[in-house]
A = this chain, B = another copy of it.
Amino acid sequence: MAEEKTSGRRRWPEGYDPQRTRSELVASALRLFEENGFDRTSLQQIVVDANLTKGAFYHHFESKEDLLWRIQTEYLDTQLEGAQAIVEQGGDPIDQVRELIRLSLEGVAQHRPHVAIFQQERRHLTGERLAEITRRRDEVEALFRGAVQAGIDAGRLRGDVSARIVTFGILGMCAWAFQWFNPRGSLSIDDVATQFTAMVLDGLVAGA
């Protein structure tokens, strides 16, 4: 009747990869952070959800905040890459703005948990980790602003507005989409992108 005391590491299944453990912890955290927030999600919940233990967690991450940080950079890096690709490619600044809006909205639609966590739990980062995230976010914003400013300088966009303010307006529109956009709803993110650009570029007043 001797109970099998499965202490220590469990048997490895074939084709086992330790990175798998890590990414399953991230996946669980992604779900739980999105649903309940960072503070209201305990490590216990995360490791149970991932069928692991605290030992496993602290083997792969320095701390709970470290995990949060990695989730944030994961998302920001893809967005930064995408934005750089659009800008470096050059072309009409108006088209660049259009594409940047689309990129931002697609990010919201395709990476909801990441966006939710980035927007709502960023404040829980501290020190160097916060600085790092803030720096990357600023880079993305700078790319947006650069495109708008280029449009103004080229005379393609009106010159009586501040690139800074206008850029914050556009970014806000896109960021806010995560609050109301339903990926399983009837309208596509493409519709949203089209209408946002129509409003921002051509204005709402009838009869151009």
- Contact at A161–B199, with CB atoms within 8 Å? yes
Q: How far is the CB of A202 from chain B (nearest CB, A)?
A: 4
- Contact at B169–A173, with CB atoms within 8 Å? yes
- Contact at A168–B161, with CB atoms within 8 Å? no
In angstroms, Cα B114 to Cα A164, docked, is 25
From B124, B157, B172, B202, contact of A177 by CB (8 A): B172
Q: How far is the CB of A142 from chain B (nearest CB, A)?
A: 13
Q: Could you say which residues of chain B place their CB within 8 Å of the CB of A160?
A: 198
- Contact at B39–A195, with CB atoms within 8 Å? no
Please report which residues of chain A, range 120-161, place their CB below 8 angstroms from some CB of chain B when the two chains form the complex: 120, 123-124, 148, 151, 155-161
- Contact at A179–B172, with CB atoms within 8 Å? yes
- Contact at B166–A195, with CB atoms within 8 Å? yes
Chain B, Cβ-Cβ closest to A158: B206
The verdict on A205 contacting B204 (CB below 8 Å), with A172-B174, A172-B176, A173-B172 known, is: no
In angstroms, Cα B151 to Cα A153, docked, is 33
Q: Could you say which residues of chain B place their CB within 8 Å of the CB of A204?
A: 97, 148, 151, 157-158, 161, 166, 200-201
- Contact at B177–A176, with CB atoms within 8 Å? no
Q: Could you say which residues of chain B place their CB within 8 Å of the CB of A166?
A: 195, 199, 204
**Interface centre among A159, A170, A172, by most B CB within 10 Å?**
A172
- Counting from the closest, the 4 A-B pairs by CB-CB distance are A172-B176, A203-B203, A39-B39, A202-B203
Tell me the A residues contacting B by CB distance below 8 Å: 37, 39-40, 94, 97, 120, 123-124, 148, 151, 155-162, 165-166, 168-177, 179-180, 187, 191-192, 195-196, 198-208
A sample of 22 cross-chain residue pairs with beta-carbon separation below 8 angstroms, ordered by A number, consists of: A37-B39, A148-B204, A151-B204, A157-B204, A157-B205, A157-B206, A158-B206, A158-B207, A161-B204, A165-B187, A165-B191, A166-B204, A168-B176, A170-B173, A172-B174, A172-B175, A172-B177, A173-B173, A175-B176, A199-B203, A202-B203, A203-B203
